[in-house]
Amino acid sequence: MPTRTGRPPKISRAEIVTAADRVIEQDGVAGLTMRRLAKEVGSTAMAIYHHVRDKDELLLLLLDSYAATLPKPELPREPRERLVAAAVAMHEALSARPWAVEVLRADDLLSVGALWYPEHIVDAAMRAGLSPEEAVDAYRIVWHYTAGEISARVAAGKRREEGGTTYRERVFADLDPAAFPRLSEVGERWAELTARDTYAKGVRALAQGLLP
């Protein structure tokens, strides 16, 4: 074992990661800047680059550290219910850290610690009788739906925070009933209807449509 020499470190990778998590909790991902993070760890922005290659790597570290804490619930035996339960668990994990979706969108699969979810969704699909290829398709379809739902939820939250009439409201306000009879029919109830949580409904539909 080589003797470590030189100046002893003031900050560690672990410290940086927990500080970053704290910053995101307070100010959102957009609030996580290298300078702000430096302040949080009581150092300078440039010191961080000595422990982490760049901001992207930091986000991946953050992801892994969060993934490690995820619960691995007992899943029902019946294949269709099993798939739905695993998907709902994945959705819950992401709901707690919605920024993770933005980081993960790059890959249609979660980080190391979160492989549990795809594993069990693929497993459920295969237990239901799908081939490996079909099971992977099923997982990806569920993932796209899940990621899309979370993204919309995040965006809707931001919109509500900012307040004011949204583009959507203005669009609905001067809607031509002749051209859009169905949307006009729903009309003003749109906001109320779109606030409902329909995630589970969607996964159940997917499970029914995808599994034999």
Residue 194's nearest CA partner among 161, 164, 159 is 159
50 binds DNA (CB under 7 A): yes
Residue 58's nearest CA partner among 72, 69, 45 is 45
Partner interacting with residue 7 (select from DNA, a second copy, none; CB below 5-8 Å by kind): DNA
Helices in 2-77 by DSSP H: which ranges? Answer: 13-27, 34-41, 45-48, 55-67
Asked if residue 61 lies in contact with residue 113, where contact means CB atoms within 8 angstroms, the answer is no
Least Å distance between CB 158 and a second copy?
7
Task: Tell me the two tokens of residue 196.
Answer: 């409902």
Partner interacting with residue 32 (select from DNA, a second copy, none; CB below 5-8 Å by kind): DNA
DSSP states along 82-149: HHHHHHHHHHHHHHHSTHHHHHHTTSSS--GGGTHHHHHHHHHHHHTT--HHHHHHHHHHHHHHHHHH
Partner interacting with residue 60 (select from DNA, a second copy, none; CB below 5-8 Å by kind): a second copy
d(CA 140, CA 123): 13
Stretch that binds a second copy, among 9-17, 23-31, 83-91, 201-209 (CB under 8 A): 201-209
Least Å distance between CB 163 and a second copy?
14
Least Å distance between CB 120 and a second copy?
8
43 binds DNA (CB under 7 A): yes
Q: H or E segment at 80?
A: helix 79-96
Least Å distance between CB 182 and DNA?
35
49 binds DNA (CB under 7 A): yes
d(CA 45, CA 34): 5
Considering CB under 8 A, how many residues would be counted as binding a second copy?
62
148 binds DNA (CB under 7 A): no
- Judged by the rule CB under 7 A, the positions of this chain that interact with DNA are 4-11, 32-36, 43-47, 49-51, 54-56
- Judged by the rule CB under 8 A, the positions of this chain that interact with a second copy are 60, 105-109, 111-112, 115, 118-120, 122-123, 126, 132-133, 135-137, 140-141, 143-149, 151-152, 155-156, 158-159, 166-168, 171, 175, 179-183, 185-186, 189-190, 193-194, 196, 198, 201-202, 204-210
